[in-house]
Structure 1
């Protein structure tokens, strides 16, 4: 262990971290290339060849030239994902007036209110309740 001092260990860990960070950045750039709909196929192929043949320079040039659009595409994807999640939650909760459980609960509450007011009798209430629960 005397041949490998503590400082060399830290430098090795730093190099490993930077190497992993660079791979993450490379995958982020390639993902952004394929996600961008404003580029045609030839432009995507050109960027991809540039990033693969000259990896460090290609990634840095891509970030300088297309970094702002990359951030905008990330923000748009996050916004679309959140909107889709909210739509799914609304649909699953049945708050859109569809055939979800939320509409059945509100319909049963209305039926109970009508029965309590005396607008419908017990028999009508039971029939309507059976229709809702089927």
Structure 2
């Protein structure tokens, strides 16, 4: 351990941390490039070439030049995911097909509504006759 002083160990750890951070930024930038629909294919290819041949400078220039748009796209994606999740929860809670909602309680809707939905599913070919009869007996029970 005398060959490698403690300060060199800290310096090595700092360099490894910076290297990992750079890779993190590089992959975030590449993901942002493909998510951005305002850039054309040639512009995306140009940024990828810059990132490959001038990696540190390319990452720095991209973050400076397009960092604000990158943050806006991240926020928009987070809002879209949140809205999709909330819509899924609403749809699952309002599902009247005889199953249970997200809360674990029986789905809303009268047995007549549930039977009508089952008949529609059967007529559209989504349910076999056997599945229809099983679901029907469950609703009527």
Give the deviation of 1:102 after TM superposition. Answer: 3.1
The reply on whether 1:38 has 2:38 as its aligned counterpart is yes
- In the alignment, the residues of structure 2 paired with residue 7 and residue 73 of structure 1 have an alpha-carbon distance, to the nearest angstrom, of 41
Structure 2 segments unaligned to the other structure (5+ residues): 112-135
> Which residue of structure 2 aligns with residue 26 of structure 1?
26
CA RMSD across the alignment: 2.0
User: In the superposition, relative to structure 1, how do residues 39 and 98 fare at CA in structure 2: closer, same or farther (>3 Å)?
Assistant: farther
Alignment of 1:90-109 (within 5 A): 90-94=90-94, 98-99=96-97, 101-104=106-109, 107=110
> Which residue of structure 1 aligns with residue 54 of structure 2?
54
The reply on whether 1:133 has 2:133 as its aligned counterpart is no
- In the alignment, the residues of structure 1 paired with residue 65 and residue 36 of structure 2 have an alpha-carbon distance, to the nearest angstrom, of 14
Give the deviation of 1:133 after TM superposition. Answer: 1.8
- In the alignment, the residues of structure 2 paired with residue 5 and residue 42 of structure 1 have an alpha-carbon distance, to the nearest angstrom, of 49
More helix per residue: 1
The reply on whether 1:88 has 2:88 as its aligned counterpart is yes
Give the deviation of 1:21 after TM superposition. Answer: 0.5
Aligned residues: 109
Structure 1 segments unaligned to the other structure (5+ residues): 109-129
TM-score normalised over the length of structure 2: 0.70
Kindly name which structure, 1 or 2, has the bigger radius of gyration based on alpha carbons.
1
